[in-house]
Structure 1
Amino acid sequence: MRRTLGTISAIAVALGGSLFAAAPAEAAPSLRFDYARYDSPGTDNRSNKSLNAEWISLVNTGRTAVSLKGWKIVDRSRTYTFGNVTIAGNGGKVTLHTGKGTDTRTQLYWGSGNYVWNNTGDTATLKTKAGKTHDTCTWKKKTGRTGVAC
């Protein structure tokens, strides 16, 4: 057996390989946009209630919790950077409301006094803390619809 293994090792090295498998690359977190409520119900009067009825959510379909610290949700003209936030695994969700409020584990507030998402169409981009695009959610206005599943 030792001689066979030695022969296999010699062949592998001669072919530029190795008997040792490379360590798997760290898998990207199983995060994605879940839903975007881009048109808050009622009149767009910029009240905090109306602003907070505009929101976008993320879902973690992986098994383990993921730290969002340093990740960003980007619109054409605005960027929200996550602080010390962790999204639970197995379907955990985090919702980011446009207006002001007190953050909880699952409900976050952008703190904007203006609407972020365009009713006529827009794209939300989720970026890793390294700045790489991880997911996007794009929509166009459909009559009678105020949101879209991403």
Structure 2
Amino acid sequence: MSTRSGSEDPLYNAIATTTVQIGRIGCGLLRLPLGLLPTQSRTHMERAIYELSRGFASLPGDFARIAEREIIRWVDEQPRYRRRDEPEQHLTVMITPEEAKAPLASPTREETPPSSPSNDEPIEEDIAELITDEVSASIADIERLIAEPPNVSITYIEYDPPGSDLEGEFVVITNASHQPVDLTGWTLIDEGEHHTYTFPQFTLASGAEVKLWTKAGTDDANNLYWGSRRPIWNNSGDSAILRDANGNLVSRYTYAAGA
């Protein structure tokens, strides 16, 4: 049961306000002759008047709450205001003999989503992590070689030096590339392939040159030594052929006497 407050019903508020004002007036009128009574008697009378006035003022609210309960009970007892329960609904399915003979369709099975790869199955990230630094460096070297072929060539041959040919002969090999070039396993041969020199483990820096001497000596960053006991390059004319470690022709240098 809900109880209406004074702020929700204007009529209720008006009755309450009027009742309070009447109670205040009555209380004032009753207190006029109290001044003639002794102090103790006057106190008891004022208390009685207060309780009487309070009871009188509360009559409208009590009456309204009692009336509201009776009105609600009366409405519930009236058939036309009572809430009718809705009848239950039943679903009736009729199956004909033809339908009964037809096989029941099996429920559609949901497609199983593809399983995610297990930890044992390699994925692209795992494969990439398996590549070692050496393999990565090799791939980088291949890409660099494709982008810029090594520009290594024979640029000069001292075939007829002053004094002893054996002591003064040399071939100049230059790297004009922007990257160092590994000459390990490369070969330098003369015309007719009578003499062959195989480069040891050696890297020619970018923009650098190395002299390959015919005589014997100790190799360093700028000088390599063939170790031959006699001259190699003919004074009348000859050719020098430079090949890489795979046998591919890299450079050919040909000279003639007096040129």
Q: Same fold (TM over 0.5)?
A: yes
> Secondary structure at 1:51's aligned position in 2?
helix
Q: State whether structure 2 residue 149 is matched by structure 1 residue 69.
A: no
Corresponding residue of 2:156: 35
State TM-score, norm by structure 1. Answer: 0.71
Corresponding residue of 1:124: 240
Aligned pairs, how many?
Answer: 114
1:51 Cα deviation after fit = 1.6
1:52 Cα deviation after fit = 3.2
1:100-123 alpha-carbon deviations (Å, 9 max, x no partner): 111111100000001011000000
> Secondary structure at 2:150's aligned position in 1?
coil
Corresponding residue of 2:174: 59
1:132 Cα deviation after fit = 1.2
**Alpha carbon RMSD of aligned pairs, Å?**
1.7
**Pick aligned residue for 2:249 from 108, 115, 133:** 133
Inter-partner Cα distance in structure 2 for 1:107 and 1:117: 18
The aligned runs of 1:69-108 (5 Å cut-off) are: 69-75=184-190, 76=192, 77-89=194-206, 91-108=207-224
Structure-2 change in CA distance of 1:25 and 1:94 (3 Å): closer
> Secondary structure at 1:94's aligned position in 2?
strand
Greater share of strand: 1
> Secondary structure at 2:166's aligned position in 1?
helix
Corresponding residue of 2:122: none
The list of structure 1 runs, each at least 4 consecutive aligned residues, that deviate by more than 6 angstroms after superposition, is none
Inter-partner Cα distance in structure 1 for 2:218 and 2:149: 30
State TM-score, norm by structure 2. Answer: 0.42
Structure-2 change in CA distance of 1:24 and 1:34 (3 Å): closer
Greater share of helix: 2
Determine which structure has more spread, i.e. the larger CA radius of gyration.
Answer: 2
Amino-acid identity (%): 36
